[in-house]
Amino acid sequence: MQRQEDKSQQDRQPAKENPAAVKPFGVVRLEMLKGSLTHMHHHETECLLIVLEGACRVYMKGETVTVRQNEMLHIPAQHVHVAEALADTVALSISAADSEWAGCGPVMQHDADQYLWGV
Write out the chain's pLDDT in tens, 119 residues. Answer: 445 554 444 445 555 666 677 777 888 898 999 999 988 888 888 889 999 999 999 999 889 999 999 999 999 988 899 999 999 999 999 888 766 555 666 666 655 565 565 55
State residue 6's pLDDT score.
47
User: Which 3 state secondary structure label does DSSP give 7?
Assistant: helix
Does the global pTM surpass 0.85? no
Q: Mean pLDDT, the chain, as a whole number?
A: 78
List domains and CATH numbers for the chain: 23-98 (2.60.120.10)
Residues 6+ apart with CB under 8 A from 74: 46, 47, 48
State residue 83's pLDDT score.
92
Residues 6+ apart with CB under 8 A from 18: 11
